[in-house]
Amino acid sequence: MDWQTSEDTVAVRPVTDADARSLVGKPPASGAWREGDPVGARSFATIGTVATEAGVRLPGVRIAYESWGTLDADRGNAVLVLHALTGDPHLIGPPGPGQPTEGWWEGVVGPGLAIDTDRWFVVAPNVLGGCAGTTGPASLGPDQSEWGGRFPYLTIRDQVAAQVAFADALRIDRWAAVIGGSMGGMHALEWAVAAPERVGRLAVLAAPPASSADQVALNSVQTEAVRADPRFRGGDYYGAADGDGPHRGLALARRMALLNYRSPGELNDRFGRSWQSGVSPLGHHGRFAVESYLDFHGNRFTRRFDANSYIRLVDAMTSHDIGRDRGGIAAALGRYTGPALVLGVDSDRLYPLEDQRVIARHLLGALDGEEPTLVESDFGHDAFLIERDAVGAALHRLLDN
């Protein structure tokens, strides 16, 4: 038995023969979308040079995004949805050429749904440093070779500065709502603090006000797993043949992450001590079912993501501290006074409820006062993607406010 659930495919279902066939053959050196690949539903906006907090100037930045609905004449109905670490701009829709996965928020975004595309103009950009079309390590630099290991360190604030420039390029002065979960929740918080006048409503789902020492430690072992792969080559692997890229390190990092996205109870209830096949894992080279689950997702991930992007995005999450140089978390959050949904999951071991309590306590417009809106779920951190009815109902409350 194996099951397919994660940030990239959130429907809970058994792995099919088609899923297994998708892993036939050697993985590419990078799973990034590359210039010349099918565009799919992407659009692009050029925002020029981005100056990072570390003092690096990144020229010719381009943001890839998808959008749904119609922008009103007064440009006042635009909603910004920000993706998690391994997400992309593809909120809804099937996989296809240039888009290897189905939409990650099916059932939440669309006509008549919580984020109603008959009412709202919904925009979902790929984050700066990502690998789904926005400028990142797999993009070509000014010398027409991939940035690779030369791509600069980014913070959450750098990425939001790029998103602000992106909004300017779209001529959207104020978002009706800014919505994000996990890493996207970090970006949403940064929007509310850095540019509160441009955020009509705020939704922070399963995200912290700052990355704790425990969270930084979890991030560090993942990035080190990628760097330790001898085929990583310091980040310069783009010319490698299929099977000769850093897929082992990237798959291991993904396996580590999945353990934080799910709850112990859910894994125990689903897999127990069952075997993957009739071959015993007790000295006879068989596998426990949960090991096979992690292997499948690690291997699948390497075919749609980029190792350098993974490091840059995880490092950005490590940088997250909404109170840095702003007088602390409480003072920073006090800058935003609009309506805010702060949602947490009772079984989340990556960003536990206490993180959301801190946020709710200091946001004047939090819908449920000093307590976060609670989602009860066995699915752990991933519940903000999986529990669509509960999350959708909470978003309805915010967007109707």
Q: Say which of 139, 320, 381, 382 is annotated catalytic.
A: 381
Q: Indicate if 381 belongs to the active site.
A: yes
Beta bridge partner(s), residue 78: 121
Q: Indicate if 19 belongs to the active site.
A: no
Distance (Å) of CA 249 to CA 29, 55, 168, 228: 12, 30, 38, 7
**Size of the chain, expressed as the number of residues it contains:** 401
Q: Say which of 6, 182, 263, 309 is annotated catalytic.
A: 182
Q: Which helix (H) or strand (E) holds 116?
A: strand 115-116
Both ends of the chain: CA-CA distance in Å?
Answer: 44
Residue 339 CB coordination number (10 Å): 21
CA–CA distance, 271 with 289 (Å, rounded to integer): 6
CA–CA distance, 135 with 128 (Å, rounded to integer): 6
CA–CA distance, 126 with 68 (Å, rounded to integer): 15
Q: Indicate if 168 belongs to the active site.
A: no
Q: Which helix (H) or strand (E) holds 269?
A: helix 264-271
Is the separation of the CB atoms in 89 and 42 below 8 Å?
yes
Is the separation of the CB atoms in 343 and 203 below 8 Å?
yes
Instruction: Tell me which residue of 343, 346, 348 sits closest to 363, measured CA to CA.
Output: 343
Q: Say which of 348, 355, 378, 382 is annotated catalytic.
A: 348
Give the active site residues.
182, 348, 381
